[in-house]
Amino acid sequence: MKFFVDTADIADIKEMADTGLLDGVTTNPSLIAKSGRDFMEVTKEICDLVDGPVSAEVVALDHETMMKEAETLRKIADNVCIKVPLTIDGLKTCKKLTADGTQVNVTLCFSANQALLAAKAGATFVSPFVGRHDDNGFDGMELIADIRRIYDNYDFGTEILVASIRNPVHVLQSARIGADVATMPPAVIKGLFKHVLTDKGIEGFVADWEKTGQTIPTS
């Protein structure tokens, strides 16, 4: 499963990229606003930091303006992935962009029927929001399982990009189901490293090593 980080914070992206685990980045207007920086500038900087797809979202709601915004965004870098909403105009834009080789991430997916439409429109990625789905009394992981089953039934090439991930359990469940990508806040990625027995093991090894009075030469 690919790991994307869901942030527009350059320092966090650099830190994640240095682990060698980062396959891409997702951003949205809310994350850009939180960064307090110029949209085009921060998107270009992110694209320079990672080799994988960087989702940059259009803000228009009509197809014609979406296409104009997408034309501007995809000039930023070759690895820009245009993010569009799961609406009729969004899917019209998706179809037109993917037809000429542009990567498209169809976002704000909350049903398997919507995911089916995105795949038929040629989406590179579809982003079902599991956390928000859970918040509204539904089972986010059941949604992922349904989409996986449908895509496998018809051999769709659209990748399932699990979004709105809140905790490491969401990541584990997504991997079990066979999702293609998980996009996570930096804190969730860091949480994947944590285990009480790992911490206890390190503490024990350090304590035992200190008793030897030895050091390992570093120069």
- HEC profile of 142-159: HHHHHHHHHHHHHCCCCE
Say how far apart CA 30 and CA 195 lie, in whole Å: 31
Which residue, 114, 120, 89, 118, is CA-closest to 105? 118
The helix or strand, by DSSP H or E, that contains position 48, with its residue range, turns out to be helix 39-49
Half-sphere exposure of 191 (CA within 13 A, CB side): 14
Say how far apart CA 61 and CA 50 lie, in whole Å: 29
Say how far apart CA 141 and CA 40 lie, in whole Å: 34
Active-site residue, selected from the candidate residues 2, 34, 44, 83? 83
> Is 83 labeled as catalytic in the residue annotation?
yes
Q: Which residues are catalytic?
A: 83
